[in-house]
Structure 1
């Protein structure tokens, strides 16, 4: 069975996410009958499983499953009966599912659909006046704005998220957004301010590790020192200090949890890029080829784009190792494209 078939199978989704397989089907979701807490928890668990798959395998394959899950939540919301308290939770879950669909399309590098789903999620957050969901959407849209070359907009979106996150009292959440502010500032060539925001992000993570403040939301579990090492490496790369960038990107790769397969693939390609730009072509080429081990398991448009960029960078080098790496990377890309 190939990966797409595996991901499309309900039991496969549960097993891949490391969750217990239910001995019986989940509660039926027909057009009749009242919805209660059990059904709500099942829907939320389904979304959690998809997010775990995204962390491991990337968003390209998972997005179609997430869209179907969102449709299921909306169908239940609009055709079933339930008390007001359950109704609000179903609305919120629909908003969260839309936000995660936006993320999955963003990772697949389908930015138009990412905008569409984030717009839907933001509308739900506005109607429900839910700051947690607003923070998730604004911080995600900040990433997209920077990805698309709109750092000023990215900074304003991150600041809007930070304003709401401050009142929520989660140091981890504030750290994530501070790192995203730093990313936008670095793209605006304000290295000093970016450095200050990253320092603040590190202090906030340390504060969170002592148990102070409100616990982070579940979607923020990826954030920690490895992610901040990556952010610091990206800052140095934007400043053209590629030796320093490589030092932090190497640390990020060393410390990243292996369950985050997509992030590890991206970190390694970023490291390869910085090493080549720093003049360490042999090591950069080795890391680029080494990333293929991760890419065999990952489907992510962002990662694929970075692979193309690194291949082009190596192609411009006259080092023997670069030529050999280009051959392997090109062969891999051709085989993957034909799959």
Structure 2
């Protein structure tokens, strides 16, 4: 049995079909346009030495099995592959090992309420290699954090996200690996830093949010990754509008839109157009804001015609656009028109987005009270407490305080009773 065949069997890839499936997944993960056939696999298993594959195939094999192909019997690397500092073996004396890494990954999965990964990663290399299996575990950890944030808000999740980012940095700085794995680790670090920025933004810690988004933008620039760059610019646009810097918000969204055009994703372009519309409405450019929001709605209706949107834009859809339209009317002082759109936003919002549902309900309550529908507004505000028991979000608590202030200025009994109940809740939350 050849060294290459032994490594494949140790990794659970004992048939050509299993190897090909795993190879294709690894190639997609690494962004390497490489394919193999059963003939290739059988020749690598049976020949001593095995035939040398192309550079991109070599890199995928290296990452997939966690072993430099030189150690598997291949004689010389093809042009474009360097040897030496790129060995996929953890450095002696570092903290990177399979047991610690897997323990970290299982911890994140359990906290997220998701199935834990298998307790055995493909054995390869010495002292715990960093390969595609580990990269997948780290990416699943980030995906778990997305789910937690959607349901419960950024307040409690941010500490987990910061720990996950530290874990990725540790792997980057204490192990050696192929260039393809290294790039994906750096990209994952940038994506995790961006998510940390979002979580601190949602927790209403804007200084920390800016810091993490700055780190993510630096990574995007270093890697020349347009997708990450667009994501960060869109996030910075959102923050600028939130902080009362609408001109910055518009410029950032417009810059992201220019970069997104070549991706051909109507949903992504719709999201960015809605960010532009939000900034324009805050600048009191109402006609331009309505025009951009109408364009955003037109684009989202074409989501089956172009390329799919990136995963981070999954939240964008009918509920988000109804909410954007409601905010546009709110900024222009037309709260009566805003009410219908805010009702629709709450109705259309998926129940997995617990934080958004709480925010939408409180925004609806604010508009209802403003137009004089105090009883219904007070009822929605009190009903939001059921959501708030599960959500930790600084932005949502700020909206709750706005509603309480409005209710306290009304003479209706329902307003006074609701305001008292809500104020007591706010005090309890702050005390805890």
TM-score computed with the length of structure 1 as normaliser: 0.93
Q: Deviation of residue 175 (structure 1)?
A: 0.7
In 2, the alpha carbon distance for the partners of 1:246 and 1:13 equals 40
Which residue in 2 is equivalent to 1:3?
none
Backbone CA RMSD of aligned residues: 1.8
CA contact under 8 A between 2:230 and 2:256: conserved in structure 1? yes
Which residue in 1 is equivalent to 2:373?
280
In 2, the alpha carbon distance for the partners of 1:80 and 1:135 equals 29
In 1, the alpha carbon distance for the partners of 2:184 and 2:107 equals 27
Which residue in 2 is equivalent to 1:255?
348
User: Does residue 290 of the first structure (1) align with residue 365 of the second (2)?
Assistant: no
Give the alignment of 1:47-196 within 5 angstroms: 47-196=142-291
Q: Structure 1 unaligned runs (5+)?
A: 1-8
User: Does residue 266 of the first structure (1) align with residue 363 of the second (2)?
Assistant: no
In 2, the alpha carbon distance for the partners of 1:264 and 1:165 equals 28
Q: Deviation of residue 13 (structure 1)?
A: 5.0
User: Does residue 320 of the first structure (1) align with residue 413 of the second (2)?
Assistant: yes
What SS does the corresponding residue of 2:392 show, helix, strand or coil? coil
In 2, the alpha carbon distance for the partners of 1:330 and 1:22 equals 44
What SS does the corresponding residue of 1:213 show, helix, strand or coil? coil
What is the aligned counterpart of 1:310 among 394, 400, 403? 403
What SS does the corresponding residue of 1:192 show, helix, strand or coil? helix
What is the aligned counterpart of 2:326 among 233, 253, 265? 233
CA contact under 8 A between 2:362 and 2:381: conserved in structure 1? yes
CA contact under 8 A between 2:105 and 2:137: conserved in structure 1? no
In 2, the alpha carbon distance for the partners of 1:308 and 1:273 equals 10
- The answer to which of 84-93 and 17-26 deviates more is 17-26
What SS does the corresponding residue of 1:207 show, helix, strand or coil? coil
Q: Deviation of residue 34 (structure 1)?
A: 2.8
In 2, the alpha carbon distance for the partners of 1:323 and 1:25 equals 59
CA contact under 8 A between 2:121 and 2:133: conserved in structure 1? no
User: Does residue 21 of the first structure (1) align with residue 109 of the second (2)?
Assistant: no
Q: Deviation of residue 274 (structure 1)?
A: 0.5
In 1, the alpha carbon distance for the partners of 2:243 and 2:260 equals 24
TM-score computed with the length of structure 2 as normaliser: 0.73
Query: Cα distance 1:16–1:77, how it changes in 2: closer, same or farther (>3 A)?
Result: closer
CA contact under 8 A between 1:27 and 1:39: conserved in structure 2? no
Query: Cα distance 1:87–1:244, how it changes in 2: closer, same or farther (>3 A)?
Result: same
Q: Deviation of residue 21 (structure 1)?
A: 2.9
Q: Structure 2 unaligned runs (5+)?
A: 1-103
CA contact under 8 A between 1:59 and 1:108: conserved in structure 2? yes
CA contact under 8 A between 1:230 and 1:252: conserved in structure 2? yes
Cα distance per residue 1:47-73 (max 9 Å; x no partner):
000011000000010001001100110
CA contact under 8 A between 1:33 and 1:80: conserved in structure 2? no
- The answer to which of 211-220 and 232-241 deviates more is 211-220
In 1, the alpha carbon distance for the partners of 2:120 and 2:431 equals 37
Cα distance per residue 1:147-205 (max 9 Å; x no partner):
11000000000001101111111111111111000000000001111111111111111
Higher RCO (C-alpha under 8 Å, 6+ residues apart):
1
